[in-house]
Each structure stands twice: as C-alpha cells, then as structure tokens.
Amino acid sequence: MSSEMWDERYSASELVWSSTPNQQVAEFASTLSPGSALDFGGGEGRNALWLAEQGWDATVLDFSQVGLDRAQQLAGSRLTPAQQARFHTLRADAASDSVSPKTFDLVIVAYLQLAADERRSAMRTAASAVREDGYLFVIAHDSANLLAGYGGPQDPTVLYTAADLADDVSDSGLHVIRADAVERTVDVQGVDRTAIDALLIARRPPVV
Ligand SMILES: C[S@@+](CC[C@H](N)C(=O)[O-])C[C@H]1O[C@@H](n2cnc3c(N)ncnc32)[C@H](O)[C@@H]1O
C-alpha cells in the first residue's frame, strides 16, 4: 500500500489500531531500562505513546502524514508535558530512506507488511538504527497465519516468517536472540481466535 492509501485509511476512521501497545512489545520493553526508542512504521503511535509513558524518548517513523498527525494528536491529549517533550514523529519511507545509524536503544517494527524486497531493505535500515547494546524487536503477521491463524493480510507476498527476518538482518552486525512464531489471542465478537505472529529479537553487541 502506498502512503496515499494509508493516509486514506487513517482518515477514514478515528482510530484504526488499538490505543494500547502490542502485548509482546510491552512485555519485552518492560524488561529494559528506558532509553531512546524508534517505532519504525509506527502509524498512530500506539507503541511509542506507551513507551513515552514508561519514560522512553520515543520516535514514530511512518510515511503516512495522517497517521503521524494522529499520533501527535494522541500525544497532546494523553501524555504529560514532560512525556510530550520526549515524543517525536518523523515522516520517512521505511523501505527507501535511511535513518541515523546506531542511534536507538530499541527499534520496534510492528506489523510492517511489505513485499520481500522492500521488507529486506526496511529491516536492514531498522537494524542499522540500533545502537551498541540495543535491540531490534520485530513482530508481524506470520506466513503461517494464512492457513492456520486468524486475521492479518491475506496476500501471501506481504507475509513472512521469523526465519525471513533473521535472514534479512544477517549482515547487520546484530545477534539474533529469538526468531520464532508466537500465538496471539484475538477477541472476535466474543469468540477467542488465534493469530500467528513472526517474532524477531536481535541485539547489537556492546562495545568492549
Ligand atoms: C499495519 S500498520 C501498523 C502500525 C503500527 N506499527 C502498529 O502496530 O500499530 C502499518 C504501518 O506501516 C506504515 N508503512 C507501510 N509502508 C511503509 C513504508 N514504506 N514506510 C513507512 N511506513 C510504512 C503504514 O503507514 C502504517 O502506519
């Protein structure tokens, strides 16, 4: 989907995604001391808003200006002045723009469903932004979801696996800590359904 299509999607409703963070993101970030975080393809900023509330300096990168405006609007109404001062948005294309290298303690990529070439480029850029002793955390709709899970895009070309992600970042200098499929329970009109996500956690080694 182009940035114009995402702008239209965000314009069409008040909040496209939930206002709460992804559970896996929240669980992982809670194990870290707050530092600087980049929410890469962060949309309306649900993860970055939560991170700012937890004491992080949080930046949402997205190519949809409407999504970023929504994130800033939510920050204005939800965050304290001190948290707002640590909340930033950045309009950029995850697949073709570069970001400042080795800058963030935590780079999150959540449900950025791109075709393989674009995904590989985006994951490499996301990995490049992780500073020494920092982490890359990726969660996405897994290819297996199509046959065995619930929801997510139904186009197989934008789905991928944790093994794909590990391969994407294999030359990035990051060490893969975890790369596997995880289940997520989704409430569909009162009925629990299971979605399958691809999860990658990788770390740039500290300088010794
Ligand atoms: C499914 S939404 C997920 C948003 C957010 N990560 C979350 O979990 O709530 C995908 C987001 O990726 C953004 N996106 C898609 N392709 C992009 C690209 N090439 N560059 C930057 N953002 C992109 C869209 O604008 C959208 O906000």
Q: What is the pLDDT of residue 203?
A: 98
Residue identified by tokens 């080694």 is 205
pLDDT-derived band at 41, boundaries 50, 70, 90: very high
Residue 208 has pLDDT above 90, yes or no: no
62/84 Cα distance (integer angstroms)? 18
Position 14 pLDDT exceeds 80: no
- The alpha carbon of 41 and the centre of ligand 1 are apart by a number of angstroms equal to 4
Instruction: Dump the DSSP string for 19-53.
Output: SSPPHHHHHHHTTS---EEEEET-TT-HHHHHHHH
Ligand 1 centroid from CA 112, angstroms = 5
CATH of domain 3-9+20-28+35-203: 3.40.50.150
User: Which of 63, 72, 199 most suits a substitution to test ligand 1, by most atoms within 8 Å of the C-beta?
Assistant: 63
Q: What is the pLDDT of residues 164-203, one digit of tens each?
A: 999 999 999 999 999 999 999 998 899 999 999 999 999 9
pLDDT in tens, 87-134: 999 999 999 999 999 999 999 999 999 999 999 999 999 999 999 999
**Structure confidence by residue, pLDDT tens digits, 141-171:** 999 999 999 989 999 999 999 999 999 999 9
**Which residues, at least 6 apart from 15, have a Cβ–Cβ distance to it below 8 Å?**
44, 70
Q: Which atom of ligand 1 is nearest to the CA of 118?
A: 19
pLDDT at 18: 74
Which three-class secondary structure state does DSSP give residue 152?
coil
Domain ranges of the chain: 3-9+20-28+35-203
Q: Measuring from each residue's beta carbon to the nearest atom of ligand 1, which residues come in under 6 Å?
A: 6, 17, 22, 41-43, 46, 62-64, 67, 93-95, 110-112, 114
pTM of the model: 0.96
97 token code pair:
């723009």
Check residues 16 and 31 and name the one with the higher pLDDT. Answer: 31
Distances (CA, A) of 31 to 27, 48, 104, 155: 7, 16, 16, 34
